[in-house]
């Protein structure tokens, strides 16, 4: 059926609000909250299928048509730069991407004077673009996790990472010195699906937009 929609949903903290929002527009995937072993779920009452994957993989599933739409962080979307329709800011999963460094370094440091720095991050494309715009030469150390460890062991002086409360930075003796961007969850849609399943997808987008006002998702 052309009206059947496949949605890629992110594992982790954005799964619950994603499912809550989809339930509000008639796609009930609440079973995904109680069964962490399965990866594919059929909506109660029909209408669609959900696949639950890592946030970093969602743009690939959507871009290649394995999913018609998905929920992904704006940080992931910007880092990967895939060509997808991005109709809605979903108003949850808020955090920010920042440059941080050891507290003792920040006390004598002036970011406006940086000319060449070494930065550890899992967002090399965003990091490179940010510093290129400032005319700062950078050496990027690509990591996949525990970014805060890099300055503590001398791998880099500074990091670019996501923060929410900033508590992890504080616990590791780091302080935020620059904000690169605000981050939130976004709805993304495969461009081919938007044409072949236009009525179903357009209805979901309209209903989601209306539901965001009433649900107050954060």
**Tens of pLDDT, residues 131-188:** 999 999 999 999 998 999 999 999 999 999 999 999 999 999 999 999 999 999 999 9
Q: Over the chain, what is the mean pLDDT?
A: 94
Q: How confident is the model at residue 214 (pLDDT cuts 50, 70, 90)?
A: confident
pLDDT of residue 217 exceeding 70, the answer is: no
Domains of the chain: which residue ranges? 5-93+184-215, 95-183
Tell me the pLDDT tens digit for each residue of 66-88: 999 999 999 999 999 988 899 99
Instruction: Give domain 5-93+184-215's CATH architecture.
Output: 3-Layer(aba) Sandwich (3.40)
**Topology classification of domain 95-183:** D-Maltodextrin-Binding Protein; domain 2 (3.40.190)
Paired with 142 in beta bridges are 121
Tell me the pLDDT tens digit for each residue of 3-37: 689 999 999 999 999 999 999 999 999 999 998 78
Quote the pTM value: 0.90
Say whether 95-183 and 5-93+184-215 share the same fold. yes
What local confidence, expressed as pLDDT, does residue 1 receive? 38
The fraction of the chain above a pLDDT of 70, given in percent, is 97
Distances (CA, A) of 107 to 22, 101, 110, 128, 154: 47, 10, 9, 25, 18
pLDDT of residue 116 exceeding 60, the answer is: yes
What local confidence, expressed as pLDDT, does residue 83 receive? 83
Q: What is the dihedral of CA 189, 194, 199, 203, to 10 degrees?
A: 20
């Amino acid at each position: 059926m052309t009206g059947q929609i496949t949605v890629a949903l992110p594992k982790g903290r954005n799964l619950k609000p994603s499912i809550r929002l989809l339930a509000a527009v008639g796609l009930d995937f609440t079973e995904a909250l109680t069964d962490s072993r399965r990866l594919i779920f059929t909506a109660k009452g029909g209408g669609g299928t959900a696949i639950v994957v890592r946030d970093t993989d969602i743009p690939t599933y959507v871009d290649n048509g394995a999913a018609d739409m998905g929920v992904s962080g704006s940080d992931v979307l910007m880092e990967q730069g895939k060509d997808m329709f991005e109709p809605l800011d979903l108003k949850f999963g808020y955090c920010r991407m920042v440059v941080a460094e050891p507290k003792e370094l920040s006390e004598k440091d002036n970011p406006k004077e940086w000319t060449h720095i070494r930065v550890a991050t899992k967002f090399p494309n965003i990091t490179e673009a940010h510093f290129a715009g400032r005319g700062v030469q950078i050496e990027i150390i690509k990591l996949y996790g525990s970014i805060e460890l890099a300055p503590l062991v001398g791998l880099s002086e500074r990091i670019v990472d996501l923060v929410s409360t900033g508590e992890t930075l504080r616990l590791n003796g780091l302080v935020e010195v620059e904000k690169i961007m605000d981050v939130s969850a976004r709805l993304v849609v495969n461009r081919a699906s938007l044409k072949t399943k236009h009525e179903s997808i357009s209805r979901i987008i309209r209903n989601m937009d209306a539901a965001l006002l009433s649900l107050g998702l954060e």
